[in-house]
Structure 1
Amino acid sequence: MNQPALSAFIWSVADLLRGDFKQSEYGRVILPFTVLRRLDCVLEPTKAKVLAEHAARAQAGLNPEPFIERITGKGVWNVSPMDLGKLMGDPDHIRENLFAYLQAFSPAVRDIFERFEFHAQVERLAKAKLLYPVTERFAQIDLHPDVVDNHQMGLVFEELIRKFAEISNETAGEHFTPREVIRLMVNLIFIEDDDALSVPGVVRTLYDPTAGTGGMLSIAGEYLAEHNPGARLTVYGQELNPESYAICKADMLIKGQDVANIAFGNTLSEDGHPATRFDYMLSNPPFGVEWKKVEKAVRDEHERQGFSGRFGPGLPRVSDGSMLFLLHLVAKMRPAAEGGCRFGIVLNGSPLFTGGAGSGESEIRRHVLENDLVEAIVGLPTDMFYNTGIATYVWILSNRKPAHRKGKVQLIDASAMWRKMRKSLGAKRRELGEDHIERITRIFGDFVEAQDDDNRPISRIFDTADFGYRSITVERPLRDEAGKVVVGAKGKQKGKPQPDSALRDNENVALKEDVQAYFEREVLPHAPDAWIDPEKTKVGYEIPFNRHFYVFKPPRPLVEIDAELKQVTDRIVDMIRGLSA
């Protein structure tokens, strides 16, 4: 069964729920039942062995769990003789039997259903006399990985979550990232790691602090397995939404990952992996979401720990916390001396330029640029995400840049690389094709300036210092009513001209340019009495991405415009004549 048909089948359960459940409540039933059936199918081939091993070890007075885990190969098992099919044989006791079946799962699985608050939904279904027909509907479908592989299953979960989010007026994009965007990011973080892609037995760690349903972790694992079957990728994550966390944890369990590595909670206020550093990281934090709820915890860490904590460089404005995730990832990088790290993060346009010199945003940009962490920024097409049509950018950061990239930043404009989707999904109307992903990856890997077929730049390379500037304060003297310069009478200001705040001005001088030379060239010819207040000079950084790819298009010749206007005017005159005839 293909993924759309599978999604439609599962979605048909909504017909059973209609009337007894609000539309916004469908997901609370359908998502955990889908996970339950998936686990039910995964465990079926080893069911008999598990039951026999459990009985034998229990009779011998031994803890059966270590022995059972050897059979299943995962931290997931069920020691009940029941499964969903057998539950159908006793309609009168479906509620009690289902609860017993759930209780017989391994602890990690029971936690998944607790996050779904599944017991409450089972009680509600039983009272509405819907528990048996809903369970029966799911028992009819085969979700074994041999029938529905992990990739398909991930797409099913994403489509269901998107539908439920739309019904509930929630933001689907908070839960997952389009698969083709993840594939691009995975390509970019792995492209220069020859060991990970070729050395047998190599072990790498990957972390996503905004894991959602686990799509980024899954696709990265698939990529590495495809390119180096002998490699082992250990994944870590953290997720705030209980249902997304439950799905991510279930997915990791089925794939044999250690689910203790998937933490629950708010990454910004309670780091789930405080002492761990990683080889690779991927993240798509929420765009433009305020961090007021965790402001106290974040500010406390910033003020008390400084650069020993995660937020030492600075704090962005409370209305957008995406740059806090950028700082969080920087703090989680494996040190260069231990092999280093590369990570990719999706951000909107705001972190490129918001905030003047000395602001939290500028200081964060200053930190990552002056420490030579930014490898590239890729501008994506608009209308790529499920919950927003705005422009988005993939930042690639690394503390193990190859020699030819040191001190450089590559900007790639991929905004024109897209194809229209046959059917829009929320705000997502465009997608990257395989050819687009390959082209962007190649441009990044080649690390050269490039143009498209129309000679428009699509790749540009800059020194990190090109994005820096000094914000200088230009003062003019205060004058009395007679026009005489007012001078200070006391202290350090004695005998010095006093500044007129009404005439004060600020100038931004490129970091590579001499400030005095700029002042003499740009200011003194227009204001000979001006001076610079050095105590107010600040260093700032911004990345005017679009400006670097702007191509001037000269206006059409005036004669051509006049001729076109005359044609329009003549048509209007002819229409008026026709009306009056």
Structure 2
Amino acid sequence: MNHQTLSSFIWSVADLLRGDYRQSEYGRVILPFTVLRRLDCVLEATKPAVLAEFAAKTKAGLNPDPFLLRKAGQSFYNTSPLDLEKLLGDQDHIRKNLYAYIKGFSPAAHDIFERFDFHAQIERLAKADLLYLVTEKFAKINLHPDVVDNTQMGLVFEELIRKFAEISNETAGEHFTPREVIRLMVGLLFIEDDDVLTPGNAVVRTIYDPTAGTGGMLSVAGEYLQEHNPAARLTMFGQELNDESYAICKADMLIKGQDVANIIPGNTLSDDGHSGQKFDYMLSNPPFGVEWKKVEKIVRREHEQKGFEGRFGPGLPRVSDGSMLFLLHLVSKMRPAQEGGSRFGIVLNGSPLFTGGAGSGESEIRRYVLENDLVEAIIGLPTDMFYNTGIATYVWILSNKKPKRRKGFVQLIDASSFWQKMRKSLGSKRKEMSDDQIAMVTELFGTFEEAELATLFDADGKETGRRVVPAGSKVPKAPKGGKVKTAPISRIFRNEDFGYTTITVERPLRDENGKIIIGTKGKQKGKKQPDSALRDTENVPLSEDIGAYFKREVLPHASDAWINDEKTKIGYEISFNRYFYVFEPPRSLRDIDADLKTVSANIMKMLEELAE
């Protein structure tokens, strides 16, 4: 049973709720019941042994917890003799028995249902005479790991959340990231680490997601490493603000045998749940364009009081978009290079690439990561890839353990054309990346070389194929009567190529007779006074000499101008699309005129046929 079929089956529970619950409230019942049934199925085989051990250790006056965990074979257990199927045997007392069953879970699992505020829903369902019917529905669903593996279960949760978010006008994309985007990020994260991917190498590494959602990024990273090197162990850490997403993430981590104490609830920006900790790998998809006004006082206090000793030393972005704060947060979590270093991937929209002029918070953040040689690559994704937005998005890969060949450089990859149309749109998501396309982008990153994408068209203008052509290689021949279009797909720049110096150009203030006004007091005494109405700014590339630029570009047009050195600032921006722009000359007037004559002739012919 695939995840969409399974989630549709679970969704049928909504038919029972209709009338007593608004559509936007369905998730309050269906999500916790789905988690409950999953835990129920996971513990099914070991339940008798756990109950026997519980009775024996309790009778002996011993703390049963470590013994029960061992018997359960999981990082959680349940000491109630009940399960969902047994609850159906006593319809009159199902409310009381369901409470007892939930109470029987070990503390970590019990907390999940508190996060869902499940008790309130039990009371509401009981009053509406729906509790037995809903319990019966879920008891019939087989969610045993042998039938529905962890990957499928994660997709089920994501599909359900997406549906609930759609009908309640919430932002589904805040909760999870499309799996193919995560697979791409995970591939980029691990590709340069041979020691981790080498089969049989029993390494232990940590991975962290400060915006964990339902735990999809952590799960995919774990699956990837398990597939390539089963001997490796990945310890997962995360933090999540939304209670329902946190509960699902925690349930997922419990079943995977991870230490759920590593998954912290709360706002990462205002209350760092992993303060002082460093990690080997990190992944994040922070919300796009979401303001951080609620935590502004706390964030500004840390910036001003702790500076670079805290997380936000380089600068603060505008309050309307806090995504770059998560970038800085991840930078602060990087393990020192001498201790092995770190690499992380973060999904951002286009704004962090170029928003803000020299001296602004955004520019200062870009300046910090580029001047400290932390940016390995930025990959432009196709539009319409996410569930809640169709805008352009970018994956940034940062590392403080760059291979020698990458030091001092940034690789830009334009993967915006690497997509295939989905059979059915999901919210704003209309496109997806295939496994082959993900592998192609990952290979471009791994080879670290400039390349072009050659697109082949037949005589009718229909696309017949694509080839990635490394720099210096021959472009494939065009099909007979067709053509080949080439466009850059991978480009490599020095860090300083993105930097510039903003100079303020002053012109003298003149009196009504055109005479230059000279200052008479203080620091301005004897100096030409600037005319604010004629003031201008120029951006000079860092690679250029400012004096030479000024002499060449400014003085020929304004011989009386000078540079106000006190206002000179250094800025950084990454005009991603400009580096991949390919000029296509317009069609000739002769061709356009010929087409118009052909169209006009066809119209006249049709009119004549109608007149007959």
TM-score by structure 1 length? Answer: 0.98
Cα deviation for residue 70 of structure 1 reads 1.4
For residues 470 and 579 of structure 1, the distance between their equivalents in structure 2, rounded to whole angstroms, comes to 68
- Is the partner of 1:108 in helix, strand or coil? helix
1:552 paired to 2:583 = yes
Superposed CA deviations along residues 310-360 of structure 1, whole A, max 9, x for unmatched, are 001000000000000000000011111110000000000000000000000
What is residue 481 of structure 1 aligned with on the other side? 512
Cα deviation for residue 495 of structure 1 reads 2.0
Moved more, 322-331 or 489-498: 489-498
Superposed CA deviations along residues 77-130 of structure 1, whole A, max 9, x for unmatched, are 000111111111111100000000000100001100000000000010011010
- Is the partner of 1:314 in helix, strand or coil? coil
What is residue 137 of structure 2 aligned with on the other side? 137
1:450 paired to 2:451 = yes
Cα deviation for residue 200 of structure 1 reads 2.2
AA aligned opposite 1:340 = G
Alignment: residue pair count? 581
For residues 337 and 195 of structure 2, the distance between their equivalents in structure 1, rounded to whole angstroms, comes to 16
For residues 580 and 357 of structure 1, the distance between their equivalents in structure 2, rounded to whole angstroms, comes to 68
Superposed CA deviations along residues 387-443 of structure 1, whole A, max 9, x for unmatched, are 000000000000000000000000000000000000000000000000100000000
What is residue 226 of structure 1 aligned with on the other side? 227
For residues 594 and 555 of structure 2, the distance between their equivalents in structure 1, rounded to whole angstroms, comes to 47
AA aligned opposite 1:261 = N
AA aligned opposite 2:86 = K
AA aligned opposite 2:208 = Y
- Is the partner of 1:45 in helix, strand or coil? coil
What is residue 182 of structure 1 aligned with on the other side? 182
What is residue 523 of structure 1 aligned with on the other side? 554
What is residue 377 of structure 2 aligned with on the other side? 376
Superposed CA deviations along residues 494-551 of structure 1, whole A, max 9, x for unmatched, are 2221111100000000001100000000000111111111111000000000000000
TM-score by structure 2 length? Answer: 0.93
For residues 575 and 433 of structure 1, the distance between their equivalents in structure 2, rounded to whole angstroms, comes to 46
Cα deviation for residue 489 of structure 1 reads 1.2
What is residue 340 of structure 1 aligned with on the other side? 341
AA aligned opposite 1:76 = F
Q: Unpaired runs of 5+ in structure 2?
A: 455-484
Q: 1:498 to 1:579 in 2, by over 3 A?
A: farther
AA aligned opposite 2:151 = H
What is residue 150 of structure 1 aligned with on the other side? 150
AA aligned opposite 1:49 = A
For residues 488 and 388 of structure 1, the distance between their equivalents in structure 2, rounded to whole angstroms, comes to 55
Cα deviation for residue 275 of structure 1 reads 1.5
- Is the partner of 2:363 in helix, strand or coil? helix
What is residue 2 of structure 2 aligned with on the other side? 2
Q: 1:6 to 1:580 in 2, by over 3 A?
A: closer
Superposed CA deviations along residues 265-293 of structure 1, whole A, max 9, x for unmatched, are 01100001002100000000000001111
For residues 369 and 558 of structure 2, the distance between their equivalents in structure 1, rounded to whole angstroms, comes to 37
AA aligned opposite 1:24 = S
Cα deviation for residue 9 of structure 1 reads 1.0
> Matched residues, percent identical?
76
What is residue 280 of structure 2 aligned with on the other side? 279
What is residue 571 of structure 2 aligned with on the other side? 540
For residues 172 and 304 of structure 1, the distance between their equivalents in structure 2, rounded to whole angstroms, comes to 36
1:37 paired to 2:68 = no
For residues 431 and 207 of structure 1, the distance between their equivalents in structure 2, rounded to whole angstroms, comes to 25
1:72 paired to 2:103 = no
- Is the partner of 1:456 in helix, strand or coil? strand
What is residue 497 of structure 2 aligned with on the other side? 466
What is residue 105 of structure 1 aligned with on the other side? 105
AA aligned opposite 1:525 = P
What is residue 115 of structure 1 aligned with on the other side? 115
Cα deviation for residue 577 of structure 1 reads 7.4
Supply the RMSD in Å over aligned alpha carbons: 1.2
AA aligned opposite 1:436 = Q
For residues 296 and 310 of structure 2, the distance between their equivalents in structure 1, rounded to whole angstroms, comes to 15
For residues 423 and 2 of structure 2, the distance between their equivalents in structure 1, rounded to whole angstroms, comes to 17
Superposed CA deviations along residues 163-186 of structure 1, whole A, max 9, x for unmatched, are 000010001100000000000000
What are the within-5 Å matches in structure 2 for residues 212-361 of structure 1?
212-361=213-362
Q: 1:573 to 1:481 in 2, by over 3 A?
A: farther
Cα deviation for residue 2 of structure 1 reads 2.3
AA aligned opposite 1:449 = E
Cα deviation for residue 571 of structure 1 reads 5.2
What is residue 526 of structure 2 aligned with on the other side? 495
Moved more, 362-371 or 493-502: 493-502
For residues 494 and 5 of structure 1, the distance between their equivalents in structure 2, rounded to whole angstroms, comes to 81
Cα deviation for residue 564 of structure 1 reads 2.3
For residues 28 and 209 of structure 1, the distance between their equivalents in structure 2, rounded to whole angstroms, comes to 24
What are the within-5 Å matches in structure 2 for residues 396-411 of structure 1?
396-411=397-412
Moved more, 458-467 or 446-455: 446-455
Q: Unpaired runs of 5+ in structure 1?
A: none
